[in-house]
Amino acid sequence: MTQPMSPENDAAGHALPHGVLSRRRLLQCAGLGLLAAGAPRVARAAAEAPIVQLRSGRVRGVRDGASFVFKGIPYGADTATSRFAPPQREPAWRGIREATQSGLACPQLNASEPTGEDCLSLNVWTPGLGDRAKRPILVYIHGGAFSTGSGSDPLYDGRRLSRRGDVVVVTVNHRLNAFGYLFLAQLGDAGLAQSGNAGQLDLIAALHWVREHAEAFGGDAGNVTVFGQSGGGAKIATLMAMPAARGLFHRAWTMSGQQVTAAGPRAATQRAQRYLEALGVGPDQLARVKQLPSAALVGALRVRDPSRVEDTALYLGPVLDGQALPRHPFWPDAPPQGAQIPMVVGNTRDETRAFLGNDARHFTLDWDALPALLERQQFVDLPTKGVIDEYRRLYPRYTPSEVFFAATTAGRSWRGAVETLEARARQGAPTWAYQLDWYDRDGPHASRRAFHTLDIPLVFDNVGQPGAATGDGPGARAMAAAMADALLAFARHGDPRHPGLADWSPYTLERRQTMVFDDASRLEDDPRGGERRLYAQAPFLQRGTQ
């Protein structure tokens, strides 16, 4: 909530939004010595730019047409001085802090934007300020597999979604990789008991900030929807099992991102030991790790993961630590604390074309080359010949490359969604499923079809943004309208149905109802049921948690 303030009026005598300072009030404060030198300049800027009182000081954003935009607002203190520890509240500041540029991203490999450990910040888009309109609040949690990314990608720009639905949109930066998920609890420092979930605790701190400031930004603290893609969806699934997150959000929408199990303490400790070896630090030297330059911590992330399932860089993600995360997110059942939270679980039809489609050879496979490649890439321990034979039976017209992309999608990207949907259905929790089949058939990305991340610009109604692989044609705009309006309906009412969609009923084990988004969107019962049954023959293993 904003701090109490006297009512303000504009030059015409109309009441200004609660929490926003008028130019006259700024000048009055300046005359009383309450503002620093240079107040007239600040006052002139305030006539064009909104200023909002927050718990730690005032911030100035920008007016962008019908929207107010604030970027880089801190919701926590610089983590450099409390590395691996739970987040601390941001320090207060004097004067007016500019909130016009996105904050730093967490240090990470191959960063494409400025990074630093002072990375606990968020961005806000809203149609109104302090007007008590009680708009739904949508908090987007970015992907990047717990290791990379930020909330500042152009595809996450919240202007169009905010205007389209008269909602408040928030994106968040938080700690990632070793800074947010390095489990050091069993290596001798009791103060680091929750280090394996520090990044999750950052998100909880951000949600507390959102609840506290909902009214200032025209939002409803009692109606917060979290939505996220890939790693963002996995972070949301994890939050649903964290007691400290209870009550901070009221709806959840995940896109190609599930977290059925977390890393166990033994596996997480083994990874921490391997990481410390790469740093050249012994387990008895944790104090030294807190003092190393952040660049050294980033460089050590290149160490290979000990898992034999896949040869990748070190996996660092949520940890079953018995404190911050006392249970697996969706195993052996759905978390009881989320039973009343409506949830949408979605995926794209051709997920793995996003990352396995980077190799042109994967599009020209023959039946002789397919078995060995699929053995390495499906991440499920089933007889490869049997998998190929079943796909050829299910889809007689598929080429070897089509079998490859379909099988890897079903084996390693889709199964977490199925596990989550089944757990929620057994719980009787309100849950909807979708599958994105649509893609721009005439665009430059047509060979990748409905690949991983394609739904991001659609739900944000950002098909015209740089980096959107949807194209900006009539088909893309129609699909964006269908998906964005579903998200907005879900945020407002807890149900994704809207007049532009066919009836979308909740998911049940009997029918497995799934909304298939395409040029002609439709509700299907158990789409790809044959593939689901094929991979159900093997136990589900969450990638990176063994």
Catalytic residue among 102, 150, 162, 230: 230
Catalytic residue among 18, 142, 250, 452: 452
Element (H, E) at 433: strand 431-436
Distance in angstroms (rounded) separating the CA atoms of residues 540 and 415: 7
Tell me, yes or no, if 351 is annotated catalytic. Answer: yes
* Residue 198, CA atoms < 13 Å, CB-side half-sphere: 33
Token pair of 10 as six digits: 């504009």
| Cβ–Cβ < 8 Å for 96, 42 | yes
CA-nearest of 162, 163, 143 to 153 is 143
CA-nearest of 415, 255, 424, 421 to 346 is 255
Which residues, 6 or more positions from 218, have their beta carbon under 8 angstroms from its beta carbon? Answer: 17, 126, 127, 128, 129, 130, 131, 132, 133, 134, 135, 168
Element (H, E) at 459: helix 455-459
Distance in angstroms (rounded) separating the CA atoms of residues 503 and 480: 18
Which residues, 6 or more positions from 320, have their beta carbon under 8 angstroms from its beta carbon? Answer: 262, 263, 264, 265, 326, 327, 328
Token pair of 121 as six digits: 């910040």
Tell me, yes or no, if 307 is annotated catalytic. Answer: no
Token pair of 8 as six digits: 């303000």
Token pair of 76 as six digits: 């926590």
281 φ, ψ to 5°? Answer: -125, 135
Tell me, yes or no, if 452 is annotated catalytic. Answer: yes
Give, in degrees to the nearest 5, the angle at Cα 317 between 484 and 320. 110
Distance in angstroms (rounded) separating the CA atoms of residues 342 and 419: 17
In this structure, the strands spanning 57-60 and 51-54 are: antiparallel
Token pair of 31 as six digits: 């005359």
- SS3 at position 225: strand
Q: How far is CA 409 from the centre of its chain?
A: 20
Catalytic residue among 8, 117, 351, 422: 351
62 φ, ψ to 5°? Answer: -135, 155
Task: Lay out the sheet containing 135-141: strands in order across.
Answer: 62-64, 67-74, 121-126, 168-172, 135-141, 219-229, 251-255, 343-348, 431-436, 513-517, 522-525
Handedness of CA 360, 365, 368, 373 (dihedral sign): positive
Which residues are the active-site residues? 230, 351, 452
